[in-house]
Amino acid sequence: MGETLLPLADLHAELGAKFVPFAGWSMPVQYTAGVMAEHLWCREKAGLFDVSHMGQVMLPADADATLEGLVPVDVIGLPQGRQRYGLFTNEAGGILDDLMIARRADGLYLVVNAACAEADIAHLKAHLSGVEPLTDRALLALQGPMAGEVLATILPGTETMRFMDHAVMIWEGADLWVSRSGYTGEDGFEISIPVAIVEPFARALLADERVAPIGLGARDSLRLEAGLPLYGQDLSPEITPVEAGLTWAIQKVRRRGGAREGGFPGADKILHQIEDGAPRKRIGLMPEGRAPMRGGTALYATETGGLTVGEVTSGGFGPSLGAPMAIALVDADLPDDAMIWGEVRGKRLPARQAATPFVAPGYKR
């Protein structure tokens, strides 16, 4: 069975994209400039990403209380025109997916990960009615310090949006759903747009000399430098939100003593871990030398012998850092200043623990 093509597949090919299969889709991994140049361009100017593989779903406006029963976040208190990061959890407290939830005048708009979209939609349909998967809309992300200036030339009014604002804008007579958010650590926007007009809109952005197309390769290195977890690597059904370092995403109203405490799958375990700690913790790592420690690398507290203390969940080279970096899940009792050794090709290499994000974020507050 072949991969699904993005609505802009022909444009990507015209721009020199190299395609790879990802979550059932044929995705541009890089263009002619290459991953390193694309990554640095996005940190300095504005990068255009095609993320139309993500699942887009509408729920009725009155579905907020029911949705809150599936996620450990405050949905009922989400104001209109605002967006919030959320998590689907399972009964064991693990993460089924991470998602974005926006409240609009006509309902709740969700964006879920491509690999989980089918399961997420089935999960939603099992608990509430009026679930509407959106198959006629593409999704673009414009990211970078110049993204605000660029988008305002095409969509006036976007310049006043704050981080995590969500708005409906009109372009060529069609509704564009714009949020000031993204997954690169930079200022930027995600734009849901009817498939019928996505190509002229993308071309209008690319006509600006500050904008370049960016592929999946640089998207991964950008989010890793920003310390942002990726579902399927840093997040999974076996990892709780507390272990993943996502306690910040669980508002006080849903915690112990809150007005709407618990009531979501795995609440007992997750709320217990918030209060009393989890067996594992997510940390940042800076391997010494130039060799990256990729996902799955076993980690040790000693250069020789001993048992593993965890593993790398995501790792690679940081073009902005000029050095390798990694996110790891390790035993909670590992001292914060302990040197860690990763086994790379049969040899243990040293890595020091580091705070994330590795690169300071540039979000618009």
* pLDDT tens, position by position, 278-321: 999 999 999 999 999 999 999 999 999 999 999 999 999 999 99
Flag whether pLDDT at 43 surpasses 80: yes
Flag whether pLDDT at 48 surpasses 70: yes
pLDDT tens digits, one per residue of 228-267: 999 999 999 999 999 999 999 999 999 999 999 999 999 9
- 365 falls in which pLDDT band (50, 70, 90)? confident
CATH 3.30.1360.120 fits 4-54+135-225, yes or no: yes
Q: For the beta carbon of residue 79, count every other beta carbon within 10 angstroms.
A: 8
How far apart CA 193 and CA 257 sit, in angstroms, is 41
Fold assignment, 279-365: Elongation Factor Tu (Ef-tu); domain 3 (2.40.30)
Name the pTM for this structure.
Answer: 0.97
Give the single-character DSSP code of 231: B
Closest CA to 186 of 130, 241, 225: 225
pLDDT tens digits, one per residue of 91-135: 999 999 999 999 999 999 999 999 999 999 999 999 999 999 999
CA angle 207, 226, 144 (to 5 degrees): 20
Beta-carbon contacts of 360 under 8 Å, excluding residues fewer than 6 positions away, are none
- 21 falls in which pLDDT band (50, 70, 90)? very high
- Can the peptide bond before residue 28 be classed as cis, meaning omega within 30 degrees of 0? no
pLDDT tens digits, one per residue of 335-360: 999 999 999 999 999 999 999 999 99
pLDDT tens digits, one per residue of 195-229: 999 999 999 999 999 999 999 999 999 999 999 99
Determine which helix (DSSP H) or strand (DSSP E) holds 253, and give its type and residue range.
none
Beta strand pairing call for 25-30 and 18-22:
antiparallel
How far apart CA 28 and CA 217 sit, in angstroms, is 9
- 23 falls in which pLDDT band (50, 70, 90)? very high
Q: What is the 3-state secondary structure (H, E, C) of 174-206?
A: EEEEEECCCCCCCCEEEEEEEHHHHHHHHHHHH
Helix (H, G, I), strand (E, B) or coil at 85: strand
Domain boundary assignment for the chain = 4-54+135-225, 279-365
Flag whether pLDDT at 2 surpasses 90: no
**What is the structure's pLDDT at 108?**
98
Find where tokens 């994330």 sit. 356
- 1 falls in which pLDDT band (50, 70, 90)? low
Flag whether pLDDT at 34 surpasses 90: yes
